[in-house]
Every structure is written in structure tokens, then in C-alpha cells.
């Protein structure tokens, strides 16, 4: 069975040791840590290691690497340049996550220009990463104006041409953008480097209408042997604010635990 992990950012700013304990209680084996450069990476690596959780990937902070304004773009790239060293200091075999600026849903200049800028920026990030895997996360149209489908992700990979660049599809985002998420995963094939999941309502696995059985079968068919990273949100408005009021962290922990149970019941 594959390792199952979770994204640490969903618990907001609570102490990492508390978040790590939640993951362990849920029966998880892995974590995708938020790339908060204010955290001591050595200490963060130790905390999750002591909890029995491997840091398998890093969620990037907000950084606009496709903006036509060079100053804004270089500030975003400066974050990623620091992130590469920060990830190395974690002491885990973690993938570096990458995506456009979340909540920028239209180009400032033109789509063509910004797609070209994005490819140039991602190429630089991959170069800085050296032999470490970079995974580009495919978001939906309500979060990004760039790379919203696996097909668009594959085009980006071809354009960049970096051997360490792979795709990160997410069941929740695919629920919005892909006519057939399982087929999209099959199309991604060996170029998929990580997989996120939450149900169609961003809830626990089984809370919505996503056909996870077909997606898991597709992952098996393409030989994906990486972890499954569960990334739910507590019920409530404002998808860009994890804090949904009193007790939201406990609700998220319960959602993670239920997701693990359902994934294991499906034989994964």
C-alpha cells in the first residue's frame, strides 16, 4: 500500500509538534510541509521525523513567478531560490512544489506572454533544484489562470524540458477542470510526480462525488508509487482562509482520519 500524507498548511499556524501529532494519530506516514521560510528547517525536519512522518513534499508560499513586472517576478523567484536551500536543510527527500500565484485568475498582460514567462521561471527553479524533483501543481480556474489541466501541464513540461520537472494533479481541482479525471491521470503517465486528493466538496474522501476508485486504478495503471497527499478544507466560506472558526483544526483531523480509513478500505 502507498503512504498517505497530508498538507500541514491546513492547520494554520499551530505549532508543528501539534500538527505532527495529529498526523500520527490519523495513521498517516507522510506530510507535505508548508514552505514557511521563517521556520527552522532542521527543527521542522526533526519534529516530523520523531512523529514517524516523512516530509515528502513542500507546499510553496505565495510567489508570482509569471508576472510581467520584472521586480515582482524576481521577488517571487527569490523566494524559490531560498526555498531550495530550505528544503535541503529539512533532511528529508522532499519534492519542491511549484505553481502560479494563487488567486491571480487573469493575466496582467496577455496569456501568451505570461505563459512564456512562467516556463522561463519554472526552468530556473528546476535548475536551482539540481537533482531534486520539482512538482508543478495543477490548479483550477478559480485559483489560477495558468496550467489548469493535465494536458496544459504536459505542455508546460515539454516547453521547460527539465528532467526533474513533474506534474502534481489534485482530485479536487480535476473535479472542476477535467472531463475524465482518471483518463487525465493516465495521460499524465510517468510524468506525474505527486498526487493530491480531497473530495468534490473539498471534504474527506467519500464526502463528495469524486470517483476515487477509477483514479486509484489509473494511478496503478501508470505505475505511480508515490504517496497520496490528502488536502481537505473545513466547511465554511472563504476557500483561501483555513480558519473556519472554533474547533476547525479538530474537524480537519477527523476528516483526515476518515480519509485514511476509506483509502485503505479501497485497498490503497
Per residue of the chain (268 residues), what is the pLDDT tens digit? 899 999 999 999 899 999 999 999 999 999 999 999 999 999 999 999 999 999 999 999 999 999 999 999 999 999 999 999 999 999 999 999 999 999 999 999 999 999 999 999 999 999 999 999 999 999 999 999 999 999 999 999 999 999 999 999 999 999 999 999 999 999 999 999 999 999 999 999 999 999 999 999 999 999 999 999 999 999 999 888 999 999 999 999 999 999 999 999 999 9
pLDDT of residue 239: 86
For residue 37, give the C-alpha cell. Answer: 521560510
pLDDT of residue 1: 83
For residue 242, give the C-alpha cell. Answer: 483555513
Query: Which phi-psi region, left, alpha or beta, contains residue 202 (left: φ > 0; alpha: ψ -120 to 50)?
Result: left
For the chain, which domains are there? Answer: 4-265 (3.20.20.150)
Query: Of 137, 177, 178, 253, which residue is the catalytic one?
Result: 137
Nearest one of 194, 199, 195, 262 to 233, comparing CA atoms: 199
Active site residue 113: no
Does residue 148 sit in helix, strand or coil? coil
pTM of the shown model: 0.97
- Over the range 174-199, which residues count as b (16 or more CB within 10 Å of their CB) and which as e? bbbbbeebbebbbbbeeebbbbbbbb
Active site residue 253: no
Handedness of CA 126, 224, 191, 114 (dihedral sign): negative
pLDDT of residue 28: 98
Distances (CA, A) of 147 to 107, 134, 194: 13, 15, 16
Strand 134-137 and strand 195-197: pairing? unpaired
pLDDT of residue 244: 94
For 123, other C-beta atoms within 10 Å of its C-beta total 15
Q: CA-CA distance, 157 to 119, in Å (whole number)?
A: 8
- Over the range 215-239, which residues count as b (16 or more CB within 10 Å of their CB) and which as e? bbebbeeeebebbbbbbbbbeeeee
**What length does the chain have?**
268
pLDDT of residue 148: 98
Query: Of 143, 177, 231, 253, which residue is the catalytic one?
Result: 231
Q: What is the DSSP letter of 192?
A: B
Amino acid at each position: 500500500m502507498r503512504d498517505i500524507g497530508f498538507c500541514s498548511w491546513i492547520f494554520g499556524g499551530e505549532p508543528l509538534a501539534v500538527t505532527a501529532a495529529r498526523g500520527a494519530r490519523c495513521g498517516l506516514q507522510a506530510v507535505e510541509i508548508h514552505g514557511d521560510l521563517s521556520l527552522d528547517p532542521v527543527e521542522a525536519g526533526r519534529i516530523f521525523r520523531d512523529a514517524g512522518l516523512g516530509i515528502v513534499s513542500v507546499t510553496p508560499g505565495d510567489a508570482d513567478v509569471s508576472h510581467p513586472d520584472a521586480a515582482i517576478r524576481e521577488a517571487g523567484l527569490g523566494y524559490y531560490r531560498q526555498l531550495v536551500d530550505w528544503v535541503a536543510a529539512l533532511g528529508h527527500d522532499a519534492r519542491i512544489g511549484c505553481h502560479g500565484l494563487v488567486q491571480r485568475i487573469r493575466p496582467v498582460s496577455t496569456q501568451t506572454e505570461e505563459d512564456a514567462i512562467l516556463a522561463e521561471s519554472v526552468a530556473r527553479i528546476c535548475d536551482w533544484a539540481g537533482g531534486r524533483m520539482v512538482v508543478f501543481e495543477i490548479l483550477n480556474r478559480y485559483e489560477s489562470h495558468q496550467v489548469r489541466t493535465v494536458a496544459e501541464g504536459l505542455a508546460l513540461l515539454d516547453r521547460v524540458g527539465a528532467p526533474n520537472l513533474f506534474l502534481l494533479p489534485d482530485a479536487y481541482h480535476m473535479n472542476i477542470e477535467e472531463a475524465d479525471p482518471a483518463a487525465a491521470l493516465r495521460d499524465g503517465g510517468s510524468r506525474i510526480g505527486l498526487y493530491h486528493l480531497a473530495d468534490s466538496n473539498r471534504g474527506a474522501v467519500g464526502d463528495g462525488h469524486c470517483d476515487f476508485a477509477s483514479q486509484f486504478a489509473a494511478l496503478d495503471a501508470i505505475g505511480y508509487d508515490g504517496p497520496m497527499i490528502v488536502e481537505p478544507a473545513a466547511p465554511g466560506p472563504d476557500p483561501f482562509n483555513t480558519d473556519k472558526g472554533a474547533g476547525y483544526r479538530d474537524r480537519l483531523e477527523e476528516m483526515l482520519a476518515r480519509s485514511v480509513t476509506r483509502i485503505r478500505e479501497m485497498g490503497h
